[in-house]
Amino acid sequence: MGGRKRVRIKTRRITVSLNNRDFEIIFQDVSGDVTVPSLDRIEGWVRSVFEPGRRGEMTIRIVDEPEGADLNERYRNSSGATNVLAFPAGELPLLGQVDLPSIGDLVICAPVIKREAQAQNKPLEDHWAHITIHGTLHLEGFDHMDKASCAVMEARETELLGSLGFDDPYVGEN
């Protein structure tokens, strides 16, 4: 039988309420990849980006390569899957909610993350943390379209990852 394999969709919603300030992550894992970090780990990486008391909701969807490639081609006009796609609120949210202000949506391609970590000789969890933070920074308006904005974004990524005990992901790059 040809075609795509059937994958059980794992969906989980986590709401953190502190002093009536809610932060909600809608987490969907359709990748079928058992090496995807736990929601608790991913939630911690995402929260490191935001100021305390940040209110809002976001969706994180972990996908396989075909879905990643389809979304990258459809929304970014680039062929093949990429590690992360970020859709800031108002751009093209996947599952916008009305209860909280939308922060945006992240789509992370598990096979690309795994392949990049191996190619860069980096621990898989370190790369997951880096790319999750990278994508979340895009939701907050960071980009790397020119040298100056790239330097600012990379410095913020390095700072956040360091605060979480991870090494500088750019060490050894040109």
| Domains of the chain, each with CATH number or no CATH | 10-163 (3.40.390.30)
pLDDT, tens only, 125-165:
999 999 999 999 999 999 999 999 999 999 999 999 999 99
What residue spans of 3-146 are helical by DSSP H?
39-49, 65-76, 110-119, 124-139
Confidence of residue 92 (pLDDT cuts 50, 70, 90): very low
Strands 21-29 and 10-18: antiparallel
Cβ burial 120-156 (10 Å sphere, 16+ → b, else e)? eebeeebbbbbbbbbbbbbbbebebeeeeeeeebbeb
Mean pLDDT of the chain: 85
Residue type (1 letter), 150: C
User: Is residue 46 a contact partner of residue 94, using CB atoms and an 8 Å limit?
Assistant: no
Higher pLDDT, 162 or 18: 162
In whole angstroms, give the CA distance from residue 47 to residue 43. 6
Q: Please give the pLDDT value at position 54.
A: 80
In this predicted structure, the answer to whether residue 82 has a pLDDT above a threshold of 80 is: yes
Chain-centre distance of CA 91, in angstroms?
16
Residue type (1 letter), 90: G
Chain-centre distance of CA 80, in angstroms?
17
Q: What is the pTM of this model?
A: 0.85
Confidence of residue 99 (pLDDT cuts 50, 70, 90): low
Confidence of residue 5 (pLDDT cuts 50, 70, 90): very low
List 152's β-bridge partners, or say none: none
User: Is residue 133 a contact partner of residue 168, using CB atoms and an 8 Å limit?
Assistant: no
In whole angstroms, give the CA distance from residue 168 to residue 19. 34
Higher pLDDT, 90 or 168: 168
- Mean pLDDT, to the nearest integer, of 48-55? 86
